[in-house]
Amino acid sequence: MNRCFRQLASLLTVPMLTGCVASVQLQVPETRRGDTVDDYHGTSIPDPYRWLETLDSDETKAWVAAQNAVSVPYLDQLPARGPFLERLLELRAVSSVGELRRQGGAWVTRRRKVDGGFELLIRNSLDESPTHRLDATTLGLSGDEKLDGYRLSPGAKYLGFAVSAGGSEFLEFRVLQLASAGRPHRLLHDRIPGLKFSTPYWTADGEHLVYWRYLNADPANRLEADRGGLVAVHRLGASPNDDRVLHRDEATEATGLSTWSELTADGRFVVLFFGAGNAVRLSVIDLGDPLRPDWGAPVVELMHAREGAHDLMGCRGGTLYFRTTRAAPLGRVVAVDIDRPTAWRTVIAEGEHLLQQALVVGDRIVAAYRRDVKAALVVFEPDGTEIREVPLPGIGSTFWLGGTPDAPDLVFGFDSFAVPPRLMHHDVDSGETRTLGTRQIPGFVAGDYVSRQVFYESKDGTRVPMFITSRSDIVLDGTTPSLLYGYGASGVVSDPIFRDDFFTWIEAGGIVAVANVRGGGEYGDAWYEAGRLEKKQNTYDDFIAAAEYLVAERFTSPRHLSILGYSNGGLLVGAVMTQRPELFAAAIPVVGVFDALRFPTTTAGPRWARSHGDPAIPEQFRWIYSWSPLHRIEDGACYPATLVLTAANDDLVHPSQSYKFAARLQTAQGCAHPAVLRVLESGGHEFWRWNQEANAEILAFAARHTGLTAAR
């Protein structure tokens, strides 16, 4: 090991509790209580901090500033913050292996540079030197702008790229004409504003872009829901105001659902998706000749009912391929012929393991399975006959999977909690596999770490998987500072992946445990369904049972256990810390949902309601109210040391969710454990992906309250 870490009591001069964990009483600002009371089906629910939902008011701004005036100095002086930040910055400076995409007949790699920025490398083949190197300067990005998605046009003449500003989820799409024959790169005047979660697709002629956006495309309207959608085509050189609308869906706007679209790689089909989660219906627009597209072609239904989740895999000729959970909760591959659009043919039947992703690669189909969450890749003939399983370096995750129908090249990324990312290539014709590159972590020695998968019983007897990773020399005596992470919503799988923040904690001598709780997609739709609506409490019970397992098996103890979650994972942390506060030393909910009664009225709430419930429905109100974190806080109870983090520009989960939860917790806290709110002035919903200062604060807070101190 190239570092020496030790467990010590905090260096702060504060009252000591049991063991090596200290607690400190902070003087948090007073929060005015309003008199707002809502009636939910005859039940009066006070909402005294409703005024914090008005983000731009002088009072809210002053309150946030006062909170940061307490939290920032407190976090700055945490003993482990400096060493953690130093290591995180060192890891960020290590170039990533990047993602590798085949676009426009070429290969595009996006990777992080050693200075923390990014670069895009464009090359004609996998083994050639790049023909273009692009970075933020080349693309003309300003200081607060970040690159999101990108697409190379056919013939590699243009690079289209999406940009976010100030951490907002809203994107603006721009176009760069690539240098050639002595002509320099040239940024075109084309701009497509108001996009969200989408990157436009180039048409086969390389002169048009097909895109979708929500019907509300105004970044200034922070409370407007993400719903509905329109699909349009933009011609290079034209004004976005003149873009032709191919389809506008106001029906899903009324229901709070969404519409989105994809264009097949050959440029022939625009596939339309309507719905959310595992209740999506499909339609298609057949543009005919991709080089002379028929923009007036009708919308043809592939499936009328909203049944299952569907992923476009690719197409060959007039046949579209989808991975679907329709009539197959674990997933299957189907083919849909355009001349018989409702006659779906099963190509790869549902098996005993989760089919998480599938692609048409050359003349083959590649299926990515999750076997008890662990990755497996299998190659099939177009008729569904299995050819081979792709060899993987070990137990882990295929974090990236790419390929197109016009080449036999499968590219994928592989990593695990204690295995740094590597980029790999598999030729689906020859069966040869090779490593293209591995991220080199300074001081990393593979044998110094151990990652194991365990299974534990939840409250109702359900068998739940969990990964536990630590240094191999850790003695498990019930005193190891531990970080328990979970998500458990929207069918998302918490894969075993390498994360700089997790690795930094593990390297310092702590344990990272990732619980694959219900509500996620680890075992397909059934696992998701078992953690939604009236069964949502199962998600929280699973997480609580994970903590109890770690304690019972002497990995850690309540005084050494912290919990961490982001977004829906923040909701998870908020729910369990208010239900079982004595089980945790520290709780860190990041950009979480806490007022579950109000969230369905804002931002992404209408889409979220299908998974968690709608308080406007009496029966569902009762479910939600029973676990809504804000409403489960009790005056005088002793809650874990809590760090609530959010970003002022979060337009996915409204920042007031965190504001209100922190205000209520600070008022109710019945012991000396701190409850602090940290609000980042810049950054959006996923600020933690790039902000290592914030990640250092998270780790240092957990270390401070579990007894882990990192020192060089």
In the chain the domains, ranked by start, together with CATH numbers, are 5-29+40-90+444-710 (3.40.50.1820)
User: Is residue 21's pLDDT more than 60?
Assistant: no
Q: pLDDT tens-digit profile of 158-187?
A: 999 999 988 788 899 999 999 988 899 999
- Tell me if 337 sits within 8 A of 319, measured CB to CB: yes
Average of per-residue pLDDT across 592-606: 85
Q: Could you tell me whether strands 99-103 and 106-112 are parallel, antiparallel, or unpaired per DSSP bridges?
A: antiparallel
Q: Taking the CB of residue 618, how many other CB atoms lie within 10 A of it?
A: 11
Supply the pLDDT for residue 254: 58
Supply the pLDDT for residue 5: 30
Q: Name the burial class of residue 591, with classes exposed (0-12), middle (13-18) and buried (19+) by CB atoms within 10 angstroms of its CB.
A: buried
Average of per-residue pLDDT across 66-80: 96
User: Is residue 7's pLDDT more than 60?
Assistant: no
Supply the pLDDT for residue 6: 26
Average of per-residue pLDDT across 620-641: 97
User: What mean pLDDT value characterizes the chain?
Assistant: 91
Q: What pTM, to 2 d.p., does this model score?
A: 0.87
Supply the pLDDT for residue 23: 45
User: Is residue 476's pLDDT more than 80?
Assistant: yes
Q: pLDDT: is 396 or 651 the higher one? A: 396
User: Is residue 120's pLDDT more than 80?
Assistant: yes
User: Is residue 8's pLDDT more than 60?
Assistant: no
Concerning whether 628 is annotated as a catalytic residue, the answer is no
Question: b vs e for 267-300, b when ≥16 Cβ sit within 10 Å of the residue's Cβ?
Answer: bbbbbbbbbbbbebbbbbbbbeebeebeeeeeee
Supply the pLDDT for residue 1: 37
- Of the candidates 401, 402, 403, 441, the residue with the CA atom closest to the CA atom of residue 421: 441
Supply the pLDDT for residue 622: 96
Q: pLDDT tens-digit profile of 552-597?
A: 999 999 999 999 999 999 999 999 999 999 999 999 999 999 999 9
Instruction: Please give the C-alpha separations between residue 194 and each of 211, 286, 295, in angstroms, as whole numbers.
Output: 11, 26, 22
Q: pLDDT tens-digit profile of 244-286?
A: 999 988 776 656 567 889 999 999 999 999 887 778 999 999 9
- Of the candidates 583, 571, 669, the residue with the CA atom closest to the CA atom of residue 612: 571
User: Is residue 219's pLDDT more than 70?
Assistant: no
Average of per-residue pLDDT across 439-453: 94
Sign of the torsion formed by the C-alpha atoms of 469, 474, 476 and 482:
negative
DSSP reduced 3-state for 626: helix
What whole-number distance in Å separates Cα of residue 613 and Cα of residue 711? 46
User: Is residue 383's pLDDT more than 80?
Assistant: yes
> Nearest-5° angle of CA 6, CA 11, CA 16?
100
Q: Name the burial class of residue 309, with classes exposed (0-12), middle (13-18) and buried (19+) by CB atoms within 10 angstroms of its CB.
A: buried
**H helices present in 589-691, as ranges:** 605-612, 618-627, 629-632, 656-668
Q: Could you tell me whether strands 433-438 and 463-471 are parallel, antiparallel, or unpaired per DSSP bridges?
A: unpaired
Tell me, rounded to whole angstroms, the distance of Cα 38 from its chain centroid. Answer: 33
Joined together, the tokens standing for residue 71 give 């939290």
Supply the pLDDT for residue 223: 54
Q: pLDDT: is 21 or 202 the higher one? A: 202
Supply the pLDDT for residue 16: 30
Sign of the torsion formed by the C-alpha atoms of 609, 615, 620 and 625:
positive
DSSP reduced 3-state for 115: coil
Q: Which of 234, 310, 673, 685 is catalytic?
A: 685
User: Is residue 12's pLDDT more than 80?
Assistant: no
Supply the pLDDT for residue 226: 66
pLDDT band at 214 (very low <50, low <70, confident <90, very high): confident
- Tell me if 212 sits within 8 A of 162, measured CB to CB: no
H or E element, residue 251: helix 251-255
What whole-number distance in Å separates Cα of residue 210 and Cα of residue 193? 13
DSSP reduced 3-state for 479: coil
Q: Could you tell me whether strands 482-485 and 511-515 are parallel, antiparallel, or unpaired per DSSP bridges?
A: parallel
pLDDT band at 220 (very low <50, low <70, confident <90, very high): low
Q: Name the burial class of residue 167, with classes exposed (0-12), middle (13-18) and buried (19+) by CB atoms within 10 angstroms of its CB.
A: buried
Average of per-residue pLDDT across 466-470: 98
- Tell me if 571 sits within 8 A of 577, measured CB to CB: no
Q: Which of 567, 611, 628, 656 is catalytic?
A: 567
pLDDT band at 118 (very low <50, low <70, confident <90, very high): confident
Supply the pLDDT for residue 143: 82
Lookup result for tokens 């209408």:
606
- Tell me if 148 sits within 8 A of 164, measured CB to CB: yes
- Tell me if 482 sits within 8 A of 400, measured CB to CB: no
Concerning whether 685 is annotated as a catalytic residue, the answer is yes
User: Is residue 550's pLDDT more than 50?
Assistant: yes
Average of per-residue pLDDT across 106-115: 84
